[in-house]
């Protein structure tokens, strides 16, 4: 509960400060980063759970699709790329059952955060900065109880790891 409060407080501060954000560490690693996570803990980033993705039109959006239990990103308008590569659909998504979200819930980080109209729960509005995923050595071995829709950067294999609730998938550039 304390960690959730700290994350929420950090995001709320980010809305008003409109600067670079480091979560779980003192500062970001360089000036090209808008959001960076602590890399000394075995934790990942959990993506938003969506049942209806028809209103999502911003390319590059990453979600956890609860209809088929897959992690996906919007490659081109109306073309979703599957990052899960698993067909079992056996993920337990009970953590989201009965949850409601305020339509106005949004946190934006960046120089245009105050005026950004891009829909989303967390929008990184800078055009010259990126987010660094949580860094975990072998997340498939070290994240004890991953949630469906979790992402992390595997520092051993040097690739992105996504968890769909059943299996980890790995993506290398």
- pLDDT digit string (tens) for 15-51? 444 468 888 888 888 888 888 888 777 888 888 888 8
Q: Which residues of the chain have pLDDT under 50?
A: 14-18
Q: What is the pTM for the complete model shown?
A: 0.70
How high is the pLDDT of residue 102? 67
- What pLDDT score was predicted for residue 108? 80
CB burial string 3-38: b at 16+ within 10 A, e below: eeeeeeebbeebeeebebbbbbeeebeeeebbbbbe
pLDDT of residue 18: 47
What pLDDT, on a 0 to 100 scale, did the predictor assign at position 16?
A: 46
């Amino acid at each position: 509960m304390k960690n959730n409060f700290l994350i929420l407080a950090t995001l709320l501060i980010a809305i008003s400060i409109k600067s670079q954000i480091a979560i779980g560490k003192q500062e970001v690693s360089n000036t090209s980063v808008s959001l960076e996570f602590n890399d000394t803990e075995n934790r990942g980033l959990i993506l938003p759970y969506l049942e209806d993705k028809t209103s999502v039109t911003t390319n590059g959006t990453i979600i956890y699709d609860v209809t088929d239990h897959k992690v996906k990103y919007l490659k081109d308008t109306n073309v979703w790329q599957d990052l899960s590569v698993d067909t079992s659909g056996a993920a337990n998504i009970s953590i989201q059952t009965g949850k409601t979200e305020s339509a106005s819930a949004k946190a934006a980080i960046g120089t245009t955060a105050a005026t950004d109209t891009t829909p989303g729960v967390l929008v990184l509005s800078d055009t010259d900065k990126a987010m660094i995923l949580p860094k975990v050595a072998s997340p498939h071995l070290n994240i004890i109880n991953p949630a469906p829709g979790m992402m992390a950067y595997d520092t051993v294999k040097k690739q992105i790891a996504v968890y769909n609730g059943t299996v980890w998938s790995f993506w290398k550039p």
